[in-house]
Structure 1
Amino acid sequence: MTKTDNIMYLIVVGAGRIGSRVIELATQDGHEVVVIEKNTDLAELTGSKYDCLIINDDASKMDVLEEAGITKADALITTTNDDSTNLMMMMLGRRYGVPRLLSSVREPDHISLFDELDIDFVESPHRLNGEYLYRTVQRPGIKDFMRLDGGAEIVEIELSEESSLIGLTILEALESEKIADDLIIVAVYRDGELIIPRGNTTFEAGDTVTVLSKEGIGKDIIQTFKTR
């Protein structure tokens, strides 16, 4: 498969409940996926179900990561049941310069350890599933999301300093068509405070904006909130 701007090279460590959902979605979308799974039975099952490369080995071994193509990976996603293994994988991913690092965390008390590594997205399995991890890889900048019936989505996006929305009111953003009419600003969190959005509410850098889109959140919407 030839790599294009739309095709990602993903390494998924762990093919359990969360990992298998990531693998399913990523292979359906045509991405290049390498799965590292230590359990032989699970590795064989995954290989029989999905169009991906399976490495039945311990992902913490440097030669295994290199065999998986860590140096060209767009993202490393680790979903094992062991936080120490996940943490090690994130450390190795940082060492190899992988652009996107994502991990599940079994114990909420361990999240601070991952935060110290400046991992892009770390969430407790109590709040996420494989789809959350996969969508996070696809759409950097989204802090949280919920899929609704009919394809609608609610997402939280942090407004960057480079966003073209900075300094505009919600009404001005609508009138200038910087945000679409069918996009609803549900809430704005600023400095830990909840702001109920009105037409005269002004966007500021660092705001966490909760957005509802009936058609789902595409890259164009994310770019509006992230860059000019």
Structure 2
Amino acid sequence: MYIIVVGAGDIGTPLIEIATRSGNEVVVIERDPERADEVASEHDCLVVNADATVKETLRDAGAQRADAIIATSDQDATNVMISLLAQELDIPAIVSVVHNPEHMNLFRQIGVNTIENPQRLIADYLFRAVERPSVVDYMRVGDVAEVFEITVAEDAPIAGMTLGEADEAGLLDDETLVVAIERPEADSPITPRGETRIEHEDLLTVYSGIGATPAVTDIFGHYEDHETNESDGFEF
């Protein structure tokens, strides 16, 4: 792919590394001369030291042949302007970071794929690591639903049951779906079926329409959400 990345800051720099390492043709637009020189010396990409809110800059970056543009500046107004110019230049895929949640709808109204403020996402992830230590990894889907990974404890209600049996027992409802199983002795992930039996130490990828609530994680034998930490008084 031919990708234009606008901004070489805390977000743009690792993005540039990932995109170039994956074999994409990457052009970076960076207004700061020192950052532009640093990116040019460290990454296999073309760097344009100019203002991305000027249409001619996007043309110089090859907008006419770009498959995608990703705006990572630290100002939402700048990212909006870049996105609008990209639309005028018919760049097929336009993605932008959004720092203020109140601006999210504005970006969506103009047809831009958005990424919430990464700092907030990191903070949310760290808080969840404390609040729900049983959840190995998770991703928010919409406002409430989540996809997460969780290991099956030895005393889990679902341990030893097939998915069909768990459904009949009312452990899995329409809002909860096991989508993948990683088993220590298996060479590759297991695709779950109704007759698939859940075993202790299985690492499950689970979709929950109500999120990784205590009622859901209890199914897999993790009850820490109901326990009180005596040292700090927090209830999980």
TM-score by length of 2: 0.56
**Equivalent residue number for residue 108 of structure 2:** 115
Distance in 2 separating the partners of 1:84 and 1:43? 22
Partners of 2:21 and 2:178 in 1: CA distance: 39
- % identical equivalent positions: 38
The corresponding residue for 2:51 is 58
Unaligned 5+ runs, structure 1: 1-7, 130-145, 147-151, 159-166, 198-228
2:95–2:114 contact (8 Å) kept in structure 1: yes
| Whole-angstrom CA distance in 1 between matches of 2:36 and 2:27 | 11
AA matched with 1:174: P
Matched, 1:22 2:15: yes
Amino acid at match of 1:187: Y
- Distance in 2 between the 1:171 and 1:40 partners? 50
Higher relative contact order (CA 8 A, sep 6+): 1
Specify the SS of the correspondent of 1:81: coil
Q: Does the 8 Å CA contact 1:13/1:37 hold for their aligned counterparts?
A: yes
2:204 aligned partner: 184
Aligned residue pairs, count: 161
Q: 1:174 to 1:38 in 2, by over 3 A?
A: same
SS of residue paired to 1:17: coil
CA displacement at 1:101 relative to structure 2: 1.5
Letter in 1 for 2:11: I
- Taking the aligned partners of 1:127 and 1:95, their CA distance within structure 2 comes to 31
1:68-112 CA distance string (max 9 Å, x none): 111221211111122111011111122222222211122222222
Superposed CA RMSD: 3.6
Counterpart CA distance in 2 for 1:109 and 1:71 is 32
The gaps in structure 2 that reach 5 residues or longer are: 123-128, 130-135, 143-173, 180-190, 218-236
Q: How does 1:51-200 map to 2 (within 5 A)?
A: 51-128=44-121, 154-155=138-139, 174-175=192-193, 184-189=204-209, 196=216
Alignment of 1:194-209 (within 5 A): 196=216
Contact 2:177 2:206 in 1 (8 A): no
Match of 1:162?
none
TM-score by length of 1: 0.57
- After TM superposition, give the deviation of residue 18 of structure 1 in Å: 0.6
Q: Say which one has the larger Rg.
A: 2
Distance 1:54 1:188, change over 3 A: same
